[in-house]
Amino acid sequence: MNVRKIVTVVEETRAEGERAVSPPATVAVVAAVIENPWAGQGFVEDLAPGIDANASEVGALLAPAVMEALGAPAEAYGKAAVVGLDGEIEHGSALIHTLTFGDHFRKAANATTLLPAVEKRGAAGVVFDIPLKHITDATIRSHHQTVEVRVADAPHPNEIIIALAAAAQGRPQQRLAALSTEQ
């Protein structure tokens, strides 16, 4: 795996809806800009060798980094893959939709649910939203949220941004009723 850069963003929301948020709502994102292992090869039928060579390694790199950046236990989490213009969306999906990638984050966050994800193709500087859901119960509405991310000079056409996001809480000032109230 060839990593060009790692970008870490920590966002603290201190006020929402004209009210203080105490403690501040914290969301962390760590993104690795990596070389697309399938770039320049045309259509690759069998993605398994590239998955085997990269998915676990990038998961092992990002999972502890996002937990450290968050600085608190995670309550919500998500993932993203943004493929440069010379790649396929399937290239990003191949890396992040494997247990060898996701289990690093599930273990670090003490999580049991599937990681919500976004995959897309874009030019350098593309904005992408990472969806977040609760780490043990995807039906807990208070933790359904997104975090907006942008890496100014990535992805290059032959790169993929792989990112993990974690939140220490649900949405600031959330007040929706539990899903069970509608059933």
Residue 50: HSE in the Cβ half-sphere, 13 Å Cα cutoff: 20
Residue 38 has phi, psi (to 5 degrees) of: -110, 5
Can you give the residue ranges of every domain in the chain?
Answer: 3-182
CATH number of 3-182: 3.30.1330.110
Q: Distance between CA atoms of 73 and 146, rounded to whole angstroms?
A: 18
**pLDDT tens across 67-102, in order?**
999 999 999 999 999 999 999 999 999 999 999 999
**pLDDT tens across 43-52, in order?**
999 999 999 9
**pLDDT tens across 27-66, in order?**
999 999 999 999 989 899 999 999 999 999 999 999 999 9
For the four alpha carbons of 133, 136, 139 and 140, in that order, the dihedral sign comes to negative
